[in-house]
Amino acid sequence: MRDVDLIEAAKAGDEHAFEMLHARHAPWARAVALRFAPDEHAASDAVQEAFLDLWTRLPTFTLTAAFRSWLYPVVKHAALSRRRKELREPPLPAMTREAAPEAGPLLEALRLLPETQREVLVMRAVDEMSLDEIATALDIPVGTVKSRLHHALAKIREDERLRRRYFP
What number is the average pLDDT over the span 80-107?
59
Residue 89 pLDDT greater than 50, yes or no: no
Element counts in the chain: helices (H) and strands (E) = 10, 0
Q: How confident is the model at residue 166 (pLDDT cuts 50, 70, 90)?
A: low
What domains, with CATH codes, occur in the chain? 1-91 (1.10.1740.10), 98-168 (1.10.10.10)
Residue 153 is predicted with a pLDDT of 86
Contact by Cβ (8 Å): 112, 154: no
Name the amino acid, one letter, at 83: R
Q: How far apart are CA 29 and CA 34, in angstroms?
A: 9
Res 98 pLDDT > 80: no
pLDDT at 96 over 80: no
Q: How confident is residue 164, by pLDDT bands cut at 50, 70 and 90?
A: low
Q: What is the mean pLDDT of the chain?
A: 83
pLDDT at 149 over 80: yes
Q: Give how far Cα 122 sits from Cα of 35, 133, 137, 159, Å.
A: 9, 13, 13, 18
d(CA 98, CA 105): 14
pLDDT digit string (tens) for 54-84?
998 888 988 888 999 999 999 999 998 877 7
* pLDDT (0 to 100) of residue 97: 46
Q: What spatial distance separates the first Cα and last Cα of the chain, rounded to whole Å?
A: 41
Q: In percent, how much of the chain has pLDDT > 70? A: 80
pTM: 0.58
Q: In angstroms, rounded to a whole number, what is the distance separating the alpha carbons of residues 166 and 28?
A: 25
Among the listed ranges 20-24, 55-59, 62-66, 153-157, which one has the minimum average pLDDT value? 153-157
* Span 28-56, average pLDDT: 90
Short-list 128, 149, 3, 147, CA closest to 64: 3
> Using CA atoms, how far apart are residues 90 and 113, in angstroms rounded to an integer?
10
Q: Is 128 left (phi over 0), alpha (psi -120 to 50) or beta?
A: left
Which residues lie closer than 8 Å to 107 by C-beta, 6 or more apart?
Answer: 92, 96, 99
